[in-house]
């Protein structure tokens, strides 16, 4: 699986010997879907002489087979095109006078898998696939970028136990957002990683998730680690249309594989919500522990989540793709609401070190979004990061339009 895989031909080998009827069902029961996403992204960053501006258009084609005896297959192709002159550093074009906008041009095999859907809602899937686990803090597809992150993996998920879901995944390769062309940061990571996740919902209130993520990367050993933790989430009705929601989480991380760092770190999350039908007020704090001292890039003792959908966490300006060695405390407050057919969101973050007195800065994030005719999607989004110790002021603006067919 190191060089990528094409699994749809395997579907024909896996089918029972049912003759032409099975093949006809495989083809006639299939479907195709197509979507495009245009985005303008502007980035102004202190320390960079030029302001970045990227006009990109992503095309995505998906082909799903019909189902025969529980077997089916799926193929998905992506192409990202830069419109007009490139005025941004896409991590591959060498335009380093501009800030980074990590949307390189190229055509990519985004997904290609064979799956079997068995009794008791058991799913077995092998091939290149999108993987989003829970809130995507540890494992996600990073689908905010035009070329999302997918995984060459074997996955088995079952709900055989009433009120519980068990998920096991082995990952052979990670296809990152920086692809498809090779370069720095690397487009792929060779992996021998295991994910375990169990969610129990048969509780009087809420649900408990227990997990273990055992990462081993041959070409990025600084990200190899073992993380184990648990999350308790739920919602309590308060009456008159109001409810109180919560997410409480703790995890411990240690170095693994050939990681040159000595890691013994912890993660904590307190996330609280007060909600009605049209508005959600939230406040919380996320902590990724670190240590005092001076550390090299490959000797970072802080808690890391290299496979997360990082854009969802610690501000949309994406200033902390790697946790600083002194760790991170992100205190945030904000709201989501729906008004006049539009979804509005505002969030304020305050960033500080966990292990020292460093204050990294603060950020305000604003967004407004609307869907039209169940097919079209318009998004306006803004992030303003005000730096303090060790980072740079950054402002980002996005205008995005999507359509699905």
Which two three-digit tokens encode residue 297?
């890039």
Residue 18 predicted with pLDDT over 60 = no
Is the pLDDT at 8 greater than 50? The verdict is no
Q: Average pLDDT of the chain?
A: 93
150 versus 219: the higher-pLDDT residue is 150
Q: What is the pLDDT of residues 90-141, one digit of tens each?
A: 999 999 999 999 999 999 999 999 999 998 789 999 999 999 999 999 999 9
For residue 210, pLDDT over 90 is answered with: yes
Predicted pLDDT at 14 = 52
Q: pLDDT at position 22, please?
A: 64
Q: Where are the alpha helices (DSSP H) in 268-321?
A: none
Of the pLDDT bands very low, low, confident and very high (cuts 50, 70, 90), residue 5 is: very low
- CA dist., res. 51 & res. 243, Å (int): 44
So what's the pLDDT on residue 16?
A: 52
Across the range 259-267, mean pLDDT stands at 97
Q: Is 163 helix (H, G, I), strand (E, B) or coil?
A: coil
Residue range 54-72, pLDDT digits in tens: 999 999 999 999 999 899 9
For residues 294-319, give the mean pLDDT: 96
Average pLDDT rounded to a whole number, residues 216-244: 95
Residue 13 is given by DSSP the state H
- Element holding 237 (H helix, E strand): strand 225-239
Tens digit of each residue's pLDDT (9 = 90 or more) over 168-204:
999 999 999 999 999 999 999 999 999 999 999 999 9
CB atoms under 10 Å from CB of 82, counted, come to 19
The answer to whether the peptide bond before residue 185 is cis (omega within 30 degrees of 0) is: yes
The tokens describing 279, both together, are 């508005």
Asked if residue 377 lies in contact with residue 369, where contact means CB atoms within 8 angstroms, the answer is: yes
What's phi and psi for 20, nearest 5 deg?
-70, -30
Q: Largest Cα–Cα distance of the chain, in whole Å?
A: 70
Q: What is the pLDDT of residue 27?
A: 73
- pLDDT the model gives residue 20: 61
Residue 363: pLDDT band with limits 50, 70, 90: very high
Cβ atoms of residues 108 and 175 within 8 Å: yes
Cα(113)–Cα(172) distance, integer angstroms: 14
Exposed, middle or buried, 296 (CB in 10 Å: 0-12/13-18/19+)? exposed
Range with the poorest average pLDDT among 24-38, 295-309, 364-378: 24-38
Taken in order 273, 281, 314, 387, the sign of the CA dihedral is negative
Amino acid 29: pLDDT: 79
pLDDT tens-digit profile of 307-347? 999 999 999 999 999 999 999 999 999 999 999 899 999 99
Q: How many residues does the chain have?
A: 405
Predicted pLDDT at 28? 73
Measured torsion, CA atoms of residues 133, 136, 141, 143, in degrees rounded to the nearest 10? 140
Question: What's the topology of domain 236-405?
Answer: Porin (2.40.160)
32 by Cβ neighbours in 10 Å (0-12 / 13-18 / 19+) ranks as: exposed
Please name the helix (run of DSSP H) or strand (run of DSSP E) that holds residue 22, with its range, or none: helix 19-28
pTM of the predicted protein model? 0.92
Is the pLDDT at 211 greater than 70, yes or no? yes
Look up residue 29 and give its two tokens: 């029961």
């Amino acid at each position: 699986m190191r060089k990528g895989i094409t699994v749809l031909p395997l579907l024909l080998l896996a089918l029972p010997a049912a003759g032409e009827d099975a093949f006809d069902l495989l083809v006639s029961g299939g479907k195709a879907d197509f979507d495009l996403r245009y985005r303008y992204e502007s980035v102004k960053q202190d320390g960079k002489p030029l302001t970045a501006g990227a006009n990109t258009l992503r095309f995505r084609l998906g082909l799903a087979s019909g189902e025969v005896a529980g077997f089916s297959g799926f193929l998905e192709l992506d192409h990202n095109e830069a419109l007009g002159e490139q005025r941004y550093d896409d991590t591959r074009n060498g335009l380093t006078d501009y800030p980074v906008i990590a949307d390189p041009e190229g055509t990519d095999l985004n997904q290609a898998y064979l799956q079997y859907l068995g009794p008791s809602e058991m799913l077995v899937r092998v091939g290149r696939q999108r993987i989003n686990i829970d809130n995507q803090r540890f494992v996600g597809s990073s689908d905010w970028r035009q070329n999302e992150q997918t995984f060459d993996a074997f996955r088995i998920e079952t709900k055989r136990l009433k009120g519980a879901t068990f998920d096991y995944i082995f990952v052979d390769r990670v296809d990152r957002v920086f692809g498809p062309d090779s370069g720095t940061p690397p487009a792929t990571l060779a992996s021998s990683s295991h994910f375990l996740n169990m969610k129990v919902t048969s509780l009087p209130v809420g649900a408990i998730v227990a997990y273990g993520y055992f990462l081993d990367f041959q070409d990025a050993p600084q990200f190899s680690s073992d993380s184990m933790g648990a999350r308790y989430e739920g919602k309590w009705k308060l009456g008159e249309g109001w409810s109180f929601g919560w997410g409480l989480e703790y995890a411990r991380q240690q170095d693994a594989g050939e990681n040159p760092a000595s890691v013994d770190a912890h993660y904590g999350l307190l996330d609280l919500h007060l909600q009605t039908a049209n508005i959600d007020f939230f406040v919380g704090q996320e902590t990724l522990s670190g240590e005092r001292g001076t550390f090299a890039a490959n000797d970072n003792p802080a808690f890391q989540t290299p496979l997360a959908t990082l854009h969802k966490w610690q501000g949309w300006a994406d200033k902390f793709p790697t946790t600083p060695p002194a760790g991170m405390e992100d205190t945030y407050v904000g709201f989501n609401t729906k008004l006049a057919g539009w979804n509005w969101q505002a969030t304020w973050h305050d960033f500080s070190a966990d292990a020292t007195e460093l204050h990294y800065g603060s950020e305000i994030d604003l967004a407004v979004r609307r869907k039209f005719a169940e097919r079209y999607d318009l998004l306006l989004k803004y992030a303003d990061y005000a730096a303090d110790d060790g980072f740079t002021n950054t402002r980002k603006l996005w205008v995005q339009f999507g359509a699905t067919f």
